[in-house]
Amino acid sequence: MKNRGRLFLVTVGLLGLYALALHRLTLYPPTWFDEGSHLHVPKALVRWGVYADYSSEGFRFSGPIFGVGPTVLLPIAGVFRLLGINLWPARWVMVSYLLLSVSLFSVMARRWVPGVGAAFAVLWFVFARSTDTITLGRQVLGEVPGMAFLALGLMGWARMAQGRWDGVLLGGIGFGLAIVTKSQWGFFLIPGLGVMALLGWGWYRERTWAGNLWIAGLAIGLWGLWQGILWGVLNPDPMRTFQELQQIAGGSVATFPSPRMGATARNLLTVFDGALVPVLLYVWARGASRSSDGYRWGLVGVLAGLNIAWLVLASNGWLRYAYPGLALLSLGIGGILQDLQGRWAMAPWLRAALAGWLVVLLLGSAVVVSSRVLRQGDDSAFEMARYLEQHIPMDALIETWEPEMLVLTDHRYHMPPQALLDVASRFIWFGGPPPSTFYDWEAIQPDYVLVGAFGRWVQLYYELERKCLSFKIEAGAYRLYHISECENP
């Protein structure tokens, strides 16, 4: 009966995943700043043979080439070369990663949670609103591919913990590729392995404790190899790039102590519909046991705890930064459901009530996530791209901070400098001055200014939109202004 229940959950979940992964792929979620920035790199690689971001003044060797690794950008460059440069082939690559991530997570989950609990953990990983795996997995972002490699690394770690030292190689490759894909994940993955080495030696008394250090060393080596290629071969001006990266990261992922600590901590109380703290306590309680089972759960608790601590203490509090930790805590949800079937001594009605509560939370999230994919969507970026291709000369200079447009058309765009991202982040998250204070777009002397959701959010072109009430076309959040038709822009 348990096997039938597990098979039913997996079948329903996979069918739902396949349908939702492909439905209206280019329309939901609407393409936006981060995705557009990442796509600059494979476009530049295909068009000019350079691994870089770009603007009208030339190539830029910071920003998106560090935001997502070659594990994502090189496959997209490959499909660009085969199928042309557009959003849909790039998102097909991401959907492939989504399916791979769910598959590897499913295999990995069975090492931590038996029976129906593993299937429930996978469904929670896919459909929980707080992880938002389907939405993230349909975009050119690094979280879902990174989770595929992290799941692979955890599978290797579990083999290592059983004394199978081939797991060290698999774990090192998995953790290393996860960090190559999302470099900031190294902030908690490598320290987490170090903590597990100490706990394995001092608390769990596991003879495999040193395997954590070997896995960490291999992961660092793999990441270091890519960094050597990136800085030593692909980057012509490493010093300038280093200075820009310091500025870019300062307002988002490396802000200690974060001015938003209190707000972020309060927001976390709503994660998993209020179940985050109980799940985290459950995982830590399982990890406190001096046993092989406790050793496994200790790793999950340490990695999730460090990731969430980084979110609260040293970032702007954007929940997307906690994605890997929340994804790992899906194992805790599955563990709770499994324990309710017999491990915990309690009244049958209480077991049923708690299990029902978890099922209702999952179903509620699945309905919300599914309805977003099925009902929401926006093609305004494509509408604006069609207008530009039909009516705007290719040699006209367009000022914009909507990087997705540089992928959808081949016009000559000028983008604000990468360092302005730090200013924009501090303006949005910490109440700093607006980026328009530090950037004079009029000095570029553009023919047009294209303002969309991001440029309007950070108020970069606020004065232009306030004074110039005449625009060429409006498509969704996008407005195209012809500077010669504006009076005193």
**DSSP-assigned letters across all residues of 469-486:** ---SEEETTEEEEEGGGS
d(CA 90, CA 147): 18
Residue type, 406: L
Mean pLDDT computed over 319-329? 96
Reported as a single tens digit per residue, the pLDDT across 200-247 is: 999 999 999 999 999 999 999 999 999 999 998 988 878 777 777 766
Lowest mean pLDDT of 174-178, 343-347, 410-414, name the range. 343-347
Dig out the tokens for 174 from the structure: 């998995």
| Residue 485 pLDDT class (50, 70, 90 cuts) | confident
d(CA 29, CA 260): 27
**The predicted structure's pLDDT at residue 488:** 53
**The predicted structure's pLDDT at residue 3:** 62
Which residues are CB-neighbours of 66 under 8 A, at least 6 positions away? 183, 230, 245
**The predicted structure's pLDDT at residue 1:** 45
Question: Does residue 71 surpass a pLDDT of 70?
Answer: yes
Which residues are CB-neighbours of 385 under 8 A, at least 6 positions away? 405, 408, 409
d(CA 161, CA 224): 25
Establish whether the linkage from the previous residue to 257 is cis, with ω within 30° of 0: yes
Q: Would you say 260 and 316 are in contact if contact means Cβ atoms under 8 Å apart?
A: yes
Residue 252 vs residue 288, higher pLDDT: 288
Question: Does residue 368 surpass a pLDDT of 50?
Answer: yes
114 φ/ψ angles, rounded to the nearest 5 degrees: -85, 165
Dig out the tokens for 229 from the structure: 């290629």
Phi-psi region of 205 (alpha: psi -120 to 50; beta: other; left: phi over 0): left
**The predicted structure's pLDDT at residue 248:** 62
Among 89-103, 260-274, 310-324, which range has the highest average pLDDT? 89-103
Reported as a single tens digit per residue, the pLDDT across 410-456 is: 999 999 998 898 889 889 888 889 999 999 999 999 999 999 999 99
Q: What is the pTM of this model?
A: 0.93
Phi-psi region of 342 (alpha: psi -120 to 50; beta: other; left: phi over 0): left
Return the half-sphere exposure (C-beta side, CA atoms, 13 A cut-off) of residue 35. 22
Mean pLDDT computed over 15-28? 84
DSSP-assigned states of every residue in 333-394: HHHHHHHTTTTS---HHHHHHHHHHHHHHHHHHHHHHHHHHHH----HHHHHHHHHHHHS-T
Residues constituting the chain: 489
**The predicted structure's pLDDT at residue 254:** 60
What value does the mean pLDDT of the chain take?
A: 91
Which residues are CB-neighbours of 473 under 8 A, at least 6 positions away? 384, 387, 479, 480
**Closest to 408 (Cα-Cα) out of 89, 172, 164, 64:** 89
Which residues are CB-neighbours of 412 under 8 A, at least 6 positions away? 56, 394, 395, 396, 397, 398
204 φ/ψ angles, rounded to the nearest 5 degrees: -80, -20
Dig out the tokens for 164 from the structure: 């199978």
DSSP-assigned states of every residue in 114-136: -HHHHHHHHHHHHH-TTT-HHHH
d(CA 4, CA 8): 6
